[in-house]
Amino acid sequence: MSDPIPIETDGAPSTDNPYSQGIRAGDTLYVSGYGPVDPETGAVVDGNIEAQTEQVLENIAAVVSEAGGDGLGDVVKVTVYLTDLEDYERVNEAYGAQFGDEPPARVCVEVSRLPEDVRVELDATAYLG
Q: Which of 45, 108, 114, 128 is catalytic?
A: 108
Q: Backbone phi, then psi, for 127, in 5-degree steps?
A: -105, 125
Look up residue 70 and give its amino acid.
Answer: D
| In contact, 39 and 14? CB cutoff 8 Å | yes
The H or E element spanning position 108 is strand 105-110
Q: Backbone phi, then psi, for 64, in 5-degree steps?
A: -60, -45
- Is residue 108 part of the annotated active site? The answer reads yes
- Please tell me the number of Cα atoms within 13 Å of 126 on its side-chain side: 26
Catalytic residue numbers read: 108
